[in-house]
Amino acid sequence: MSLQKYCLSIFLLFGLLTVSACTKKSVQPQSSGQAQTTQEFQEQHILAESGDSKAQYAVGWAYQNGKGVAKDIAKAFAWYAKSAKQDNALAQYAMGWGYEHGVGVTQSDSDAFKWYTKAAEKGNVGGQRAVGILYLNGRSVPKNYTKAIEWFEKAAEQGDSIAQYNLGHLHYYKHPGVVQDHPKAYRLLLQSARQNDMLAQFVLGNMYQTGLGAAQDYHQAFKWYSKSAAQNFALAEHRLGLMYEEGKGVQQDYDKAKELFVQSALQGNVEAQYKLAVLYYEGKEKMVAQSFTQALDWARKAADLDYAEAQTLLGVMHEEGHGVKASNEQAFAWYAKAAAQNASSGQYNLANMYLHGLGRQQDYHMARELFTKAARQNHASAQINLGLMYTKGFGGAPDYNTAQKWFQRAAEQRDPSGLYHLGLSFLRKKPATRSSAITAYMWLSLAETNGHIEASDSLETLAKALSPEEIHKAKTLAQKCHQKGYTNCIIDTQILTT
């Protein structure tokens, strides 16, 4: 028997990625001791002709599956209909399934809901699960999480692994009108996972990996990802590959990591395809030798599936001429595809093309607009470039206050260039004050600490204009800022009196 899984989007928190782990398989009408041989079929057929509802269902199942008789879908659902009209719950479920999928009957969500509900009300677990899915998905009925949970709970109480998974998912992630309950979600997902549900196993692995809903435990994460991957679930294979690559929960094994990435990628998992593209583009000792040809191949596979980061990588490869003939026009086209999906990396690179007139005519207004979009998504380099555009008046009048705001956003991410330019922004303030000079020294010293090469020279020049006491004050403020994680640091005001 195959299984149908209504997959909600799984918002995975590892690596700041949002991924959809949805698969959908069909739960066909179930066998219940039906005919397997020609003689058994004939015996059931005689009973069915006499009006026996169980036999009618058995004959329908035999026709659908070609057991003891030639497969005939039309006859199968004709017999299911006879049985369903006599209130046979299995047959009612079969009719619901047929209407949902358009098999044996004309597809109709409303008729599917009607027959599933009849089966569900008689305690049929498949019907209960199916009604929950229809409410959850808003098919033929208004979307209703409360109703969905009500029916999933009935099916879960009968041990249905799919209902347990869906309930666990609903309580684990935030959904409208649903109380988020991680302990309850964990219990339900564990019940489902122990029945070998690959999605429940995958989510459990994620819970243990991230420490959200369960105490962080890489060994447990590895265990559950392994179980899910053993069923060829592509996302689990990719995640397991990352654990082998990083040596978390298992001894580091680059060969095994690469093997899993390839397995996942060949199933169409864009994350794994992109991972391989990056590995081959950069090259990784003991794992893969640098190969722009392989990088290009995997990046194209992911880009063709609209994976924005892969589209950005293809843009970089065309811009730099890595594996392909250099072409600013092609680079621009790939960056534009990624930017259209609101990918900050695509927006940032496309903005740079407009800024420098590469692949298109120079356009400061478009550059500023795209840098702004990326900056609002916390792309540090975009924040810095946007700050520089406001500083220099590219695309509009100079605006030092707005420039400083964007430099600070980058600095709060501990970006060395953001810290450096934030420090310089205080030296541009008019009128110049001792307080702004101290603040500038504070940020420049943090930039130096974080590896910015030019910060040292700027500090040396600025130190000549400050007293030893002022330099000590700036260094003390820098230490406090570091301890606070670079956020809510004192800037400029009242420094001399604190």
Residue-wise pLDDT for 211-260, tens only, equals 999 999 999 999 999 999 999 999 999 999 999 999 999 999 999 999 99
Of the candidates 345, 249, 315, 177, the residue with the CA atom closest to the CA atom of residue 14: 249
Total residue length of the chain:
498
Average pLDDT for residues 88-95, to the nearest whole number?
97
User: 3-state DSSP call for residue 284?
Assistant: strand
The per-residue pLDDT for range 327-363, each reduced to its tens digit, is: 999 999 999 999 999 999 999 999 999 999 999 999 9
In degrees and rounded to multiples of 5, residue 251 shows phi and psi of -65, 135
- Residue 234: Cβ-neighbour burial (10 angstroms; 0-12, 13-18, 19+): buried
pLDDT for res 316 = 98
The per-residue pLDDT for range 266-290, each reduced to its tens digit, is: 999 999 999 999 999 999 999 999 9
pLDDT band at 4 (very low <50, low <70, confident <90, very high): very low
The per-residue pLDDT for range 409-433, each reduced to its tens digit, is: 999 999 999 999 999 999 998 888 9
CA atoms within 13 A on the CB side of 291: 12
Q: Look at residue 26 and tell me whether its pLDDT is greater than 90.
A: no
- Torsion angle, alpha carbons of 223, 224, 225, 228, to 10: 130
Q: Look at residue 31 and tell me whether its pLDDT is greater than 60.
A: yes
Residue 372 token pair = 């702004």
- Tally of CB atoms within 10 A around 44: 25
Mean pLDDT for all residues in the chain: 92
pLDDT band at 35 (very low <50, low <70, confident <90, very high): low
pLDDT for res 491 = 65
* Cα(446)–Cα(135) distance, integer angstroms: 54
* Percent above pLDDT 70 for the chain: 92
* Percent above pLDDT 90 for the chain: 88
In degrees and rounded to multiples of 5, residue 32 shows phi and psi of -140, 60
185 and 152 in contact (C-beta within 8 Å)? no
Q: H or E stretch including 194?
A: helix 182-194
Q: Look at residue 25 and tell me whether its pLDDT is greater than 70.
A: no
pLDDT for res 176 = 86
